């Protein structure tokens, strides 16, 4: 079928080099393989950090309960180490989310479009993938990544360590007879008293629970569930939005092809050339930088005498661009 150059059999070209349709598909297949490899790499790194935390917890429990004389604050050091592992894993999860997003874009709108009607990518898919490739940025904030990993894995490890710490204080060196005695035993030498230690530990635990609550209160597109990608196509940024002004005498034909091939709306205005006094039609079409070449080619094919002006658009709201309502 004809492409953006109006020719058959050529999908893409760069400085005289032409990429055939079969090579275009091959290139996307290799891109998908690379993205899946990245996803698997970072997914395995998530498991590695979790394994560190599990092994550290097991070793600390064995050491703490092996002798009544072993200090209880070893469990607190292990808690600090587990939280450090969680922060490392949150960073890895941010990378995992980015590669997963790009692989999911290829799956849902490139491969799925081959086998299911209407056999075409969703509107804005190319811009979303192109932006993710040119400007790779984390789509999951670090605090949310930490909340996700804590909810899924570390909440159980932290709870186990704290329960074991409380049990250690209760039975070593001898069984405590009151809660007050347990709290007093939590003192770290002569530096920090027991109530202060218990208060700090309780504050940390409550803060982690509040982090999970904040994650549910603030919605996020990606939380590891592939279904979260349904219908997710990024709005066009201000750097990519353009306004095309086409002065032509064949507005019907030009507008029809722009709407059909670019999937963009067109608005027609009446204009008059002040030098010649001739009446012309003025078409306004909001597009993206990636569609500029195709737009110019369409106009030139329909009306070689048309006048095309491409100008940057500071802000565009509406379908296919940024949403009309403010983000929540």
Domain positions in the chain: 12-229, 241-312
Band (pLDDT 50/70/90 cuts) for residue 205 is: very high
Mean pLDDT of 133-158: 88
Q: What is the CATH number of domain 241-312?
A: 3.30.70.120
Which of the two residues, 56 and 239, has the higher pLDDT score? 56
Residue 236 to residue 264: CA distance in whole angstroms:
13
pTM of the model: 0.62
Give whole-number Cα distances, 125 to 40, 110, 221, in Å: 23, 9, 16
pLDDT tens, residue by residue, 107-130: 887 888 787 777 777 767 777 788
Residue 88 and residue 142 in contact, taking contact as beta carbons nearer than 8 Å: no
Residue owning tokens 């997710």: 232
Mean pLDDT of 140-150: 90
Instruction: Tell me how many degrees the CA angle 272-273-277 measures, rounded to the nearest 5.
Output: 85
Q: By three-state DSSP, how is residue 268 classified? A: strand
Residue 44 to residue 157: CA distance in whole angstroms:
19
Residue 185 to residue 71: CA distance in whole angstroms:
10
Mean pLDDT of 81-97: 93
Please provide the DSSP assignment of 103-144 as one string. HHHHIIIIIHHHHSTT-SPPTTHHHHHHHHHHS---SS-HHH
Band (pLDDT 50/70/90 cuts) for residue 16 is: low
**Mean pLDDT lowest among 59-73, 217-231, 261-275, 286-300:** 217-231
**Token reading at 20:** 């055939």
Band (pLDDT 50/70/90 cuts) for residue 240 is: low
pLDDT of residue 232 exceeding 80, the answer is no
pLDDT given at position 265: 85
Residue 171 to residue 160: CA distance in whole angstroms:
16
Residue 67 to residue 298: CA distance in whole angstroms:
82
């Amino acid at each position: 079928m004809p492409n953006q150059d109006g020719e058959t059999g050529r999908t893409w070209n760069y400085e005289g080099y032409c990429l055939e349709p079969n090579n275009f598909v091959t290139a996307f297949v290799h891109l998908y393989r690379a993205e899946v490899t990245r996803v698997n790499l970072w997914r395995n790194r998530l498991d590695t950090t979790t394994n560190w935390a599990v092994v550290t917890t097991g070793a600390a429990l064995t050491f703490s309960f092996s002798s009544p004389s072993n200090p209880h604050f070893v469990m607190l050091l292990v808690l600090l180490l587990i939280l450090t592992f969680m922060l490392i894993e949150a960073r890895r999860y941010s990378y995992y989310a980015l590669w997963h997003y790009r692989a999911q874009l290829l799956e849902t709108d490139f491969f799925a479009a081959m086998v299911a009607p209407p056999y075409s990518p969703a509107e804005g898919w190319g811009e979303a993938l192109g932006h993710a490739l040119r400007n790779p940025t984390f789509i999951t904030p670090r605090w949310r990544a930490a909340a996700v990993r804590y909810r899924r894995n570390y909440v159980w490890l932290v709870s186990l360590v704290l329960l074991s710490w409380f049990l250690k204080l209760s039975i070593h060196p001898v069984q405590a007879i009151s809660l007050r005695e347990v709290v007093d035993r939590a003192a770290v030498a002569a530096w920090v008293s027991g109530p202060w230690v218990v208060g700090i530990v309780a504050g940390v635990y409550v803060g982690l629970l509040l982090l999970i609550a904040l994650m549910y209160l603030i919605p996020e597109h990606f939380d590891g569930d592939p279904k979260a990608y349904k219908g997710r196509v990024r709005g066009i940024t201000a750097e990519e939005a353009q306004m095309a002004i086409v002065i032509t005498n064949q507005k019907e034909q030009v507008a029809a092809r722009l709407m059909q091939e670019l999937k963009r709306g067109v608005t027609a205005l009446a204009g008059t050339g002040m030098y010649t006094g001739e009446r012309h039609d003025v078409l306004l079409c909001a597009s993206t930088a990636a569609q500029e070449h195709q737009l110019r080619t369409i106009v030139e094919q329909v009306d070689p005498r048309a006048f095309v002006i491409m100008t940057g658009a500071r802000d565009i709201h509406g379908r296919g661009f940024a949403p009309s309502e403010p983000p929540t």
